[in-house]
Amino acid sequence: MSVGEEDVNIVIASSAAGGDEGNGSGTQPSVPTRVTAAVPTVVSASTTHTSGPTRTSAPSTRNPGPTTPATSRASGTPTTHTSGLISNASHTPGPTGTSGATVNPTGPTSSPSNIPRPTGTTANATNPTVPTRMPAPATPTQNPPRTPIPTTHNPGPVRTPANAPRVPGPSRTPGPARGTPRPVPKPDTGGHTVNYKKEKAFPIRKYCVPTVAVLLVLASIAVISILIKVVLDNYYYFCVKSFKFIPLDQWCDGKSDCAGDEDESRCVQPFDVTTNSMVRFMEAGSLLQLYASSRTSWSFICSDNWDASKAKAVCAQVGYYSEPVSSSVSISDLSTSSAILYSTVQVLSDQRIQVNPLLGGSCTSGRVVSLSCAACGIGHKQQRIIGGTNSDILRYPWQVSLQYMGQHICGGSILNSRWILSAAHCFDKGQKQIDRWRVQYGVTTLTYLFGSYVDKIFLHSRYVANQKPNDIALVKLKSDIAVSTSVQPVCLPGYDNQIVAGSVLWVTGWGHTVEGGSALSSQLQEVTINLISSATCNQEYGGQILQSMLCAGKLEGGSDTCQGDSGGPLVSLGQNSRWDQVGVVSWGDGCGRPNKVGVYTNVQTFLNWIYEVMKQVA
């Protein structure tokens, strides 16, 4: 070297196993060796590289191809390199200032075809079969050597085939039911966190919602059914046997429109009495008299051999079936004449009675029977105010309300546990359908709930609609009335009952308090009036008053019955402090007008009809 030399760093990778480099069959860990070669600046001189200190370089997986001799920038003279991969080359400029050759770090560079291959000692002595590869001239740089990037690619995520079975994920704990409030943690004085265990929510949607829905559907069906029934009941009657509807005005019109007279069987009907009762009560309705057909006269019953069975048999003859109460009265206390017939009673096998007059007309015991077939006429006697005032059912526990299709029509009175006494005109105006009537009793304030059902309704056979005579009716209930302090029967008067003009009487009802009024009284009303003689009353009404009628009221007006009071009882406080019904509210001219008193049916004249109906329709 005549002028100067350059240091060239050449990395030579030697095969660890001595395998063939050309075929790349063996693994070649790189053992980089730093070679410092003197590069002559003289054109004609050739430079031999001398190995210097080694430097570790990153391995490369690239298989080197055959080497190509590098050409000197100055003269193009080939420079021999030891075979291997070039990691980095650094040229030190010589004294002449010639720049160093640039070495391609990424791979071999092509060389001109006219450059001869090196032979002899310049070839790789370690593996002579592998041709020597000449590195390209390296570009001088001041940057530190780079670590080669591995060419091996990191595989991405494995894609699951579309038809592969789906792997179930981890199980998930279900949360609380929707709508369940979260538990509010209570404060912990110790500073610790309080954990609450969630309670299992009640399955509202599972049970309550379907139940409510079913109930609503059933309620809707019930309401619709009731509405349909109400509409049909207001306009039609259904014939069960013939399975058809008929107009309501053809029901109980006296003509058969259904099979088997079905539409006429449950109607108000007249009752004709052709026989006389063989039982009657005298002197305040307590002294018993029986008709002796063999003597064709009435007789008192001697108390000799009298017992409870005979008392029941006698009361059954007048339609009373409750426990009777009997006693005896001394003959000397009787107000009748001395010519009195006495008899005894015999009960036959069919519970009929036979009257046997006593021979000689004398009673050994000297006492006669006093009989009460029902505990009646028991009211709370209190001071009453004339002119109409609020009352209480406890004062008049026999007062009832007759209601048609839920509306108060008339009043009435309790005779016994099955029978109600009222007026015949209450069942005019087409209100003849028995099944539509109810009887309300035991109440002071008018109500329409829980009324008793009606079994039969009988009018006097001689009553003519819209006319005044024989205005009396009997209503039979389907079930017995339970007697209490607010439910008591009223007593019927005796056959010899005599009331004189001016006698004080009482009348009760829920009728209108003002003539022409549109509303009934919700509270039971009472008014105190006086008996008016038939002669005076006929002067007011032009002779319309018959023996079967009574007149009562105030001639000056102001105290009277009115619409809604019809059928109610007119009572008097008789002997033995018991209340007797002497009249039934019937008719009148207006309400409380001067000289126009009320007209009542005289109950005493219809005692035989009442007793016979109750007896025959047991």
Tally Cβ neighbours within 10 Å of residue 533: 14
Q: Averaged over 355-362, what is the pLDDT?
A: 83
Helix (H) or strand (E) holding 413: strand 407-414
So what's the pLDDT on residue 23?
A: 40
pLDDT in tens, 428-473: 877 899 999 999 999 999 998 889 999 999 999 999 988 889 999 9
So what's the pLDDT on residue 436?
A: 92
Q: Is the pLDDT of residue 284 over 80?
A: no
Q: Tokens 């029986």 correspond to what residue?
A: 290
Q: In this structure, which amino acid lies at residue 169?
A: G
Tally Cβ neighbours within 10 Å of residue 162: 5
pLDDT in tens, 497-507: 888 999 999 99
What the block records as the tokens of 36 is: 């410092």
Burial status of residue 84 (CB atoms within 10 A of its CB: 0-12, 13-18, 19 or more): buried
The one catalytic residue among 49, 425, 460, 512? 425
Q: Is the pLDDT of residue 109 over 80?
A: no
So what's the pLDDT on residue 90?
A: 41
So what's the pLDDT on residue 89?
A: 38
The one catalytic residue among 566, 572, 580, 586? 566
Identify which has the larger pLDDT, 360 or 591: 591
So what's the pLDDT on residue 557?
A: 85
Query: Which of 93-102, 259-268, 389-398 is least confident?
Result: 93-102
So what's the pLDDT on residue 618?
A: 78
Average per-residue pLDDT for the chain? 76
Homologous superfamily, domain 389-616: Trypsin-like serine proteases (2.40.10.10)
DSSP letters for 585-618? EEE-SSSS-TT--EEEEEGGGGHHHHHHHHHH--
So what's the pLDDT on residue 121?
A: 42
Confidence of residue 364 (pLDDT cuts 50, 70, 90): confident
pLDDT in tens, 291-300: 988 888 899 9
Catalytic (active site) residue 75: no
Q: Is the pLDDT of residue 286 over 90?
A: no
Cα distance from N-terminal residue to C-terminal residue, the chain:
163
Asked if 397 contacts 378 with a C-beta cutoff of 8 angstroms, the reply is yes
Contacts of 473 (CB under 8 A, 6+ apart): 268, 421, 422, 423, 424, 426, 427, 457, 458, 459, 460, 463, 567
Please tell me the distance from the alpha carbon of residue 286 to that of residue 231, in angstroms, as a whole number. Answer: 51
Would you call 26 helix, strand, or coil by DSSP? Answer: coil
Alpha carbon of 345 to those of 28, 76, 352: distances in Å?
151, 175, 10
Q: Where are the alpha helices (DSSP H) in 122-261?
A: 204-235
Please tell me the distance from the alpha carbon of residue 88 to that of residue 96, in angstroms, as a whole number. Answer: 23
Q: Is the pLDDT of residue 596 over 80?
A: yes
* Domain spans, the chain: 221-264, 279-372, 389-616
Q: Is the pLDDT of residue 184 over 50?
A: yes
Catalytic (active site) residue 257: no
Please tell me the distance from the alpha carbon of residue 19 to that of residue 402, in angstroms, as a whole number. Answer: 131
Q: Is the pLDDT of residue 381 over 90?
A: no
pLDDT in tens, 74-87: 434 443 433 333 33
Q: For residue 326, give the nearest of 374, 376, 278 by alpha carbon.
A: 374
Q: Averaged over 341-361, what is the pLDDT?
A: 89
Q: Is the pLDDT of residue 337 over 80?
A: no
Q: How far is CA 214 from the centre of its chain?
A: 9
The one catalytic residue among 30, 401, 408, 471? 471
Q: Averaged over 309-328, what is the pLDDT?
A: 93
Q: Averaged over 351-368, what is the pLDDT?
A: 87
Q: How far is CA 537 from the centre of its chain?
A: 60
pLDDT in tens, 92-108: 444 444 344 443 444 44
So what's the pLDDT on residue 267?
A: 93
Contacts of 500 (CB under 8 A, 6+ apart): 531
pLDDT in tens, 519-532: 889 999 999 999 99
Q: Is the pLDDT of residue 275 over 80?
A: yes
So what's the pLDDT on residue 283?
A: 74
Please tell me the distance from the alpha carbon of residue 312 to that of residue 322, in angstroms, as a whole number. Answer: 8
Asked if 288 contacts 371 with a C-beta cutoff of 8 angstroms, the reply is yes
Q: Is the pLDDT of residue 119 over 60?
A: no
Q: What are phi and psi of 526, to 5 degrees?
A: -135, 150
DSSP category for residue 92: P
Contacts of 596 (CB under 8 A, 6+ apart): 540, 553, 557, 588, 589, 590
Q: Is the pLDDT of residue 122 over 80?
A: no
Confidence of residue 137 (pLDDT cuts 50, 70, 90): low
Q: Which residues pair with 299 in a beta bridge?
A: 290
What the block records as the tokens of 611 is: 């007793």
Q: What percent of the chain is predicted at pLDDT more than 90?
A: 41
Identify which has the larger pLDDT, 46 or 504: 504
Q: Is the pLDDT of residue 11 over 90?
A: no
Top mean pLDDT of 131-140, 379-388, 547-556 is at 547-556
Q: What are phi and psi of 581, to 5 degrees?
A: -90, 115
Helix (H) or strand (E) holding 568: none
Q: Is the pLDDT of residue 1 over 70?
A: no
Identify which has the larger pLDDT, 488 or 139: 488
DSSP letters for 548-567? TEEEEE-TTSS----TT-TT
Catalytic (active site) residue 330: no
CA 196-199-203 angle, to 5 degrees, is 160
Top mean pLDDT of 5-14, 172-181, 190-199, 354-363 is at 354-363
Top mean pLDDT of 63-72, 129-138, 342-351 is at 342-351
Report pTM. 0.64
DSSP letters for 339-374? ---EEEEEE-TTS-EEEEEPGGG--SSSEEEEEESS
Please tell me the distance from the alpha carbon of residue 535 to that of residue 546, in angstroms, as a whole number. Answer: 10
CATH of 279-372, one of 3.40.605.10, 1.10.1740.10, 3.10.250.10, 1.10.10.10: 3.10.250.10
Half-sphere exposure of 80 (CA within 13 A, CB side): 19
pLDDT in tens, 518-566: 788 999 999 999 999 999 999 999 999 999 999 999 998 888 888 889 9
Alpha carbon of 270 to those of 263, 411, 470, 606, 610: distances in Å?
16, 20, 11, 14, 13
Identify which has the larger pLDDT, 130 or 600: 600
